[in-house]
Amino acid sequence: MIFVAACWLTWAGIRQRLWSVVAAGGAIVLMGVLIPRGEIFSMVRFSRVMIIPLLVIVSQSPLRSLVGQWIANTPRFVLLTLACIAANVAFTVHLVHYFD
């Protein structure tokens, strides 16, 4: 899921010519391709970097209408906080299953 989100983020950044977004998404894509299977949990850990570029893409693109008006009215810091909490929970669940 994170790899697919990183690919989408990179593609959206290229379409909108936002090179910082391409750098953030592309780094996660490269990490997913190059890291060995046993250390892939680091991609989950570093995927939190994609939250801010993802918010930039969603707030500036036609996806705004697809996502709905709630994204425009929701303060960005609340969405960012929830995304960071979700990333930490997912990483914790992964580590529990990995070391179990």
Domains identified in the chain, total number: 1
Helices (H) and strands (E) in the chain, counts: 7, 0
Maximum Cα interatomic distance, the chain, rounded to a whole number of Å: 43
Q: Residue 86 is part of which domain span?
A: 2-99
The model carries a pTM of 0.57
Helix (H, G, I), strand (E, B) or coil at 40: coil
pLDDT tens for each residue of 84-97: 788 888 888 888 88
What pLDDT digit, counting tens, does each position of 47-74 carry? 777 877 877 777 776 655 555 555 556 6
